[in-house]
Structure 1
Amino acid sequence: MSQRSHAHIRDFHDDDLEGIVRLWELSHDRGETPVYSLAEVIASCQADHAVVAVSGDRILGAAVGRAAHAQGWIVFFRIDDDRTPALDAERIGAALLDRLERRMAPLGLGKLSVIVSDAAQGVPHLTGNGFEVRHHLRYFERPLPVQRRELDLLKEVGGRILPRRLWHNVAGMAREKLLLEERLVTPLAHPELAARYGVLPPRAVMLFGPPGTGKTTFAKAVASRLGWPFVEVFPSRLADSPAGLPAALRQTFEVIAELEHAVVFIDEVEEIASRRRGDPPSPTQGVTNELLKLLSEFRELEGRLLICATNFVRALDAAFLRHGRFDYVLPIGLPDADARRAIWIRYVPAGVVDGIDLDALVDASEGLTPADIEYAVRRAAQDALAGALQGAPVATTTGAIVLPDVDESPVQLETRHYQRALRSTRATVSKSAVRDFLEDIDALARL
């Protein structure tokens, strides 16, 4: 039965030195010839920036960095591969690099670089997380997505830098990912290649589909894939501005225009871009008019992408979906079989997943959203726990509940527990909503 390393990432403590020494010696013993001496690594741990991956009292990995002028250097990066399965090592490595980057971002760095030996263990982690190889020198670097001057602007609009591997974490949904990769990511990440084929990088895209199908997840994954800051605009919050929603929207987009790159996301955009009706104009019509103006101005800016999402694409104002405003109108449907399998694996406890009939659960959960499946998993777990606690006596002298010894008489989570929970799970998306979605694809999708 497979086991997972439940590691968490935190800042370095002085008590971690022994673990750092062990990791450095592990690199040396493997013939990797660390670029920096043990003394230099320890000095940077104490004086510069260091983060560690911890499981219990063991250090499973570490990343140590220092800054010089506008250049950041990773002086030590290592995962204990003897104690960490390959998939967990990949996840831990990505988390360590992301945490170290966030620690060092306020220093005003322009690049984060690494020099490693030919035999260094960490090369796949680096190349898989945005670093590029400089041939012959084995030199790695990746641009930081936000420069120091932009941090305050990003904070002002509630933006943030997302982990770099969100795109890879979206399992299944191969058709949707291929569309987003071809239509959005490639032209924006490689504008020279796009120009060679006469492809204009997109400026705005609409995602539509039933509620809970992962539109927000895809928007974040695109930002992660590009390595751009993610700014989510909440019209409901901006509506509280004394200047009113239209003015607050304009002010937000003016700040975004000062960023070098950004993926801007507006969810449930139908709330502020619904069909305009009646005379005189309603307050909603004023907001729609302002958003149309902002969209036109936004399209003139390079290095930015607006992603809007809606559950009700047919409710949007016709002018909003007109050609020249949104480059693509892309459907995001219910999770396919591969995506449902990944969701089950994500939520079923690691200690029991190997004994579960995943094929049966994948088939039985067709038509459910990711949130529906998560609910079924949690319900099954809660019912199993309730079964384990049945008959637990109460100590009348202290009022404390004496828990049963589950190691002696465990209530095992089995496929039938999840199947029973599925029978009690109401699908978020009705069959009529699915039919409407398919009709909207034929009538409104622009791929």
Structure 2
Amino acid sequence: MTTWHIRDFHPADMDSILRLWESSRLSGVEPVYALSEVLASCQEDQAVVAVDDDVVVGAAVARAAHDQGWIVFFGVDSQWLDQGIGSALLAAVESKLAPLGLTRLSILVPDSERRVEALGDAGYLDKKHLRYFEREIPIQRQEIGLLDALGGRLLPRNLWNNMGGMQREKEMLERRLVLPLADPDLAQQYGVVPPRAVMLFGPPGTGKTTFAKAIASRLEWPFVEVFPSRLAADPKGLAGALREIFLEISQLEHAVVFIDEVEEIAAQRKGDPPSPLQGVTNELLKIIPAFRDRPGRLLVCATNFIRTLDSAFLRHGRFDYVIPIGLPDDVARQAIWLRYIPESVAENVDLDLLVSKSNGFSPADIEFSARKASQHALEKSVYGAASDGSAAEAADVDAAAKTDAAAKTDAAARAPGATGPTTEDYLEAIAQTRATVSAEVVHEFQEDIKRIARL
């Protein structure tokens, strides 16, 4: 005689669902869906239980996604197997989903699950050619609003791979930062403490911000940039605003926090009477140790003038690494040029020559040269002659000339023979571009690497 019956899930059944889920796991059959997802669906979606004398002996939990239903948990106590409970649970949960107009009902089971007779009896087909893939979303729903308020964002996942060249720097960052942060359990096995704060230094325009963003992209952590200049207008003052924004950041599970041109708020303190800026430096020196106490976060500071930083700022215990970021190497310059050369003319441009002639250029210098060459080529195509732009800067151009120029521009845009910049255009632009980083600055940078860098 059957003593069990099927009924809807009650909130008081939550502990029984937990017990069934844990029992399945301990028996060697790891549930596909996490316990948190199962419990959430019990409350928000559809769930039925099998009960014997008020004791829950089985459960089926399901949710709807568009026109398809998914059974997120299905389990029966081992002593109640082969009594028809499984088939009854499946039928009951399908009945609850029926009003939703679903076209399919699916269930994922681990490879180790062998007790699938109830699924076959209920009409489920074993799709042997299917494989299950899963990806965790790196930011939780409740963090989205906070991240938006902080001005943070999740960056595209391909930034790291798209950074051409700079292989030495990338390999070092991959080993020192990404590896222990992405797999803290493995790091712990080897006694490695994941880094909490790093300093990037180097000449202006060498890509320190790009590296910081690439690290966040590689880790798939939210990127939050702190702008001291914006915080200075806060009624609480710069020091108070800085303290508050780091308190808000602490609510994120993971984050890469970036402060560019940190020398503005961490300059060398002097023996003069305390100034407001010294108060900000003191506050930042207090914030960093507190920030380091929380796992899953990385502070990245960048400076063009590391010599001007307060001596206490770079001490061991505040920054794990002090990493130089110099001018792009040949491979990096090639990748940067390719980013700005139109695909339609790329195969006709002598890229090796551009890389050679732009030695000593920063990424910003290359971008300026590339855009200048493109603009020059456009003007030459429209007006039929090279121009250094002085004519465009003349005080007066009559209406007829403006109309004629507009007509020529439209015609050029429509012309099937229009091409793009040539090697000569790029070489001319390079010759007209003054390198941001002088030889003296490069020499000082090399001295700073020997004296200050910590790798």
1:274 alignment partner AA = A
State the match for 2:407 in structure 1.
402
Distance 1:413-1:278 versus aligned 2 partners, 3 A rule:
same
Shift, 1:69, TM fit: 6.7
1:316 alignment partner AA = L
Shift, 1:177, TM fit: 0.2
State the match for 1:189 in structure 2.
182
CA–CA distance in 2 between the matches of 1:73 and 1:368? 56
**Which of the residues 317, 330, 336 maps onto 1:337?**
330
Alignment of 1:289 onto 2:282: yes
1:12-411 equivalent positions in 2, closer than 5 A: 138-390=131-383, 399=403, 401-403=406-408, 404=411, 407=415, 410=418
Greater displacement, 222-231 / 136-145? 136-145
State the match for 1:433 in structure 2.
441
Residues 212-236 of structure 1: CA distance to partner in whole angstroms, max 9, x if unpaired? 1110001011111111111100010
Shift, 1:349, TM fit: 0.7
CA–CA distance in 1 between the matches of 2:437 and 2:166? 17
CA–CA distance in 2 between the matches of 1:163 and 1:446? 29
Report the secondary structure of 1:359's partner residue.
helix
Identity value in percent: 61
Distance 1:280-1:72 versus aligned 2 partners, 3 A rule:
farther
CA–CA distance in 2 between the matches of 1:71 and 1:195? 39
State the match for 1:420 in structure 2.
428
Residues 261-304 of structure 1: CA distance to partner in whole angstroms, max 9, x if unpaired? 11000000000001001231111110000000000100100100
State the match for 2:117 in structure 1.
none
1:433 alignment partner AA = V
Shift, 1:426, TM fit: 0.6
Contact 1:270 1:316 in 2 (8 A): yes
Residues 316-343 of structure 1: CA distance to partner in whole angstroms, max 9, x if unpaired? 1010000111000000001110010011
CA–CA distance in 2 between the matches of 1:418 and 1:73? 55
Contact 1:261 1:304 in 2 (8 A): yes
1:441 alignment partner AA = I
Distance 1:73-1:240 versus aligned 2 partners, 3 A rule:
farther
RMSD (Å), alpha carbons: 2.7
1:340 alignment partner AA = R
2:285 alignment partner AA = L
CA–CA distance in 1 between the matches of 2:428 and 2:435? 14
CA–CA distance in 1 between the matches of 2:65 and 2:218? 23
Residues 73-121 of structure 1: CA distance to partner in whole angstroms, max 9, x if unpaired? 999xxxxxxxxxxxxxxxxxxxxxxxxxxxxxxxxxxxxxxx9xxxxxx
Shift, 1:138, TM fit: 2.5
Greater displacement, 154-163 / 422-431? 154-163
State the match for 1:56 in structure 2.
none
State the match for 2:453 in structure 1.
445
Give the greater-gyration-radius structure (CA): 2
Contact 1:387 1:411 in 2 (8 A): no
2:403 alignment partner AA = G
Distance 1:71-1:378 versus aligned 2 partners, 3 A rule:
same
Report the secondary structure of 1:242's partner residue.
coil
Contact 1:395 1:402 in 2 (8 A): no
Distance 1:167-1:398 versus aligned 2 partners, 3 A rule:
closer
Shift, 1:388, TM fit: 1.6
Distance 1:272-1:232 versus aligned 2 partners, 3 A rule:
same
Residues 112-167 of structure 1: CA distance to partner in whole angstroms, max 9, x if unpaired? xxx9xxxxxxxxxxxxxxxxxxxx96222222122121122212211111111111
Distance 1:179-1:397 versus aligned 2 partners, 3 A rule:
closer
Shift, 1:407, TM fit: 4.2
CA–CA distance in 2 between the matches of 1:212 and 1:383? 24
CA–CA distance in 2 between the matches of 1:314 and 1:72? 59
CA–CA distance in 2 between the matches of 1:301 and 1:72? 39
Report the secondary structure of 2:225's partner residue.
strand
CA–CA distance in 1 between the matches of 2:164 and 2:66? 33
Report the secondary structure of 1:319's partner residue.
coil
Residues 11-48 of structure 1: CA distance to partner in whole angstroms, max 9, x if unpaired? xxxxxxxxxxxxxxxxxxxxxxxxxxxxxxxxxxxxxx
Distance 1:205-1:390 versus aligned 2 partners, 3 A rule:
same
Distance 1:408-1:204 versus aligned 2 partners, 3 A rule:
closer
Paired residues in the alignment total 321
TM-score by length of 1: 0.68
TM-score by length of 2: 0.66
Distance 1:416-1:291 versus aligned 2 partners, 3 A rule:
same
Shift, 1:396, TM fit: 5.2
CA–CA distance in 1 between the matches of 2:236 and 2:154? 29
Contact 2:205 2:363 in 1 (8 A): yes
Distance 1:69-1:253 versus aligned 2 partners, 3 A rule:
farther
2:436 alignment partner AA = T
